[in-house]
Structure 1
Amino acid sequence: MERWSYAKAGVDINKQKEMQRKILGLIKSRAEGIGSYASSFKLGDMEITLHVDGVGTKTILLDKLGRNEIAGWDCVMVNANDIACEGFKGILLVDYLATEKGDPKLSEDIGKGLTKAIESIGAVLAGGETAIMPDVVKGYDISCTLLGTRYADTREPEPGDKVIAVASTGPHANGYTLIRKLIDAGRLSLDGIEEDIVAPVANYHNPLLDAMKEGKVKWAAHVTGGAFRKVHERLPKDLGLKLDCWEIPEVFMRIVKAGNLDPMEAYTTFNMGVGLIVIGDEESIKYFEREGLKAWVAGEVQKGETRICTPWGGAGYKVRNWQK
């Protein structure tokens, strides 16, 4: 049976990383940690961050299914979750909506999602831009830029530290080019999984920052583009994770089966049911559970490589070749 991949669908993560390196190699920045989730700047006595991200090609599916409000919510949350991993709280946001044609109903739906998400993290919408570009855009594209201020400090993980996994609501905002290609090829049906496929990105921002503030979390990683490969790369150079098996939600099992995905491909494209990795105290679990999010002890920090137990490779499936 033919194996599919994210690159075959049109998104090559290695080329994306090379594009980022080319840009960063030309830019002289005064920011600390540029290239991570959230670089930081000193503005007087304040430490701030400025982060930009978008919803990606999930918008094509949301538009087709009439669920565009989710795009507004997701646009905020992909940014808010990222900066929270570095200890920053989102306070001010601007959005950018590019459309193929003028569509007031579309902007209204997206605006509802934006408003709900901004209120949920306690931020303010400072403005934005809407552009109609039929020669450039097919459908629509939305991104947000979020300003955050230092709220809590992070600490370096150490071997033996507990790893807490926090459940995702679905694929969040990653891997949708591959998902859509599988749907279009007739290999993946939305029957019974539509709500999981389009589910809004989980709000990790609020509970994560509260747990960090109370000293229950040392370090966190939002499982987004690059998935567990990116999590591994963010760890200090000599450290990896040993992750026990967890129950993979049906939506991911269906995607993996439809694409006959290699385990490495699955865990570097999708969050596989875990949207946030937290390193710290087991007591941090209650902060997420209070927000209705499932969380559990998933393993520990170890020296060297990252190993993930998967349903395909059996206990101790080794994830190889993830370079820092």
Structure 2
Amino acid sequence: LLGLPSSGVHSNGFSLVRKICFEAMGYTMDTEVPEFGCTLGEKLLTPTRLYPKTCLPLIEKFDLHGMVHITGGGFYDNIPRILPEDCDAEVNAEAWEVPVVFKKLQEWGNVPWAEMYRTFNMGVGMVLVVDPSEADAVRAHLKAEGETFYELGKVVPGHKETIMKGGVFGA
């Protein structure tokens, strides 16, 4: 499982974002957030990253087993949709640095980490399911294109679930 970075919140979980930022914290779109280096509005309205420029050449060149856009439903709802019934996705939550916007939402709203990964993309906007025999070639292609990617984990025998490991999830 290879992950491509998101540009921020995208369109995920804005009901929860609204509740945390505007109701619980009493912020406005003009509130300066030092950790963001910009206003809350500028951070929340960062345009959603689009993935065709990166993914279309991969589809043409390699036999990808699947692609998952991490939208509302996060890791737990989106990844299992493409898994066979007898497989799980093991994701290492330490494989990438969670962007500060998600850390602040979690802190401000005291949202359990599992819920954060269920609601938001947490900095990973697209997951590529790559055959192990082509993984090195896909990595090389992404590197040659200057694309950042994360080694998220692997598909293992299971029951069509996402299993989060590492970081806040333990071993």
Q: Does the pair score TM above 0.5?
A: yes
**Aligned sequence identity (%):** 29
**CA distance in structure 2 between the partners assigned to 1:310 and 1:264 by the alignment:** 12
In 2 relative to 1, CA 240–298 (structure 1 residues): closer, same or farther, beyond 3 Å? Answer: same
- Matched with 2:114 is 264
TM-score, normalisation: structure 1: 0.43
Aligned residue pairs total: 153
Q: Secondary structure at the match of 2:2?
A: strand
RMSD: 2.2
- Indicate yes or no: 2:82 matched with 1:226: no
TM alignment of 1:1-324, pairs within 5 A: 163-187=1-25, 191-192=33-34, 193=36, 194=40, 195-215=42-62, 217-228=64-75, 229-244=77-92, 245=94, 246-280=96-130, 281-288=135-142, 293-304=147-158, 305-315=161-171
8 Å Cα contact 1:208/1:288 also seen in 2: no
**CA distance in structure 1 between the partners assigned to 2:136 and 2:113 by the alignment:** 28
Q: Secondary structure at the match of 1:211?
A: helix
Q: 1:216 Cα deviation (Å)?
A: 5.2
Residue type at the aligned position of 1:249: P
Residue type at the aligned position of 2:168: W
What are the superposed Cα offsets for residues 50-85 of structure 1, whole Å, 9 maximum, x if unpaired? xxxxxxxxxxxxxxxxxxxxxxxxxxxxxxxxxxxx
**CA distance in structure 2 between the partners assigned to 1:285 and 1:308 by the alignment:** 22
Structure 2: state its 5+ residue gaps: none
8 Å Cα contact 1:169/1:202 also seen in 2: yes
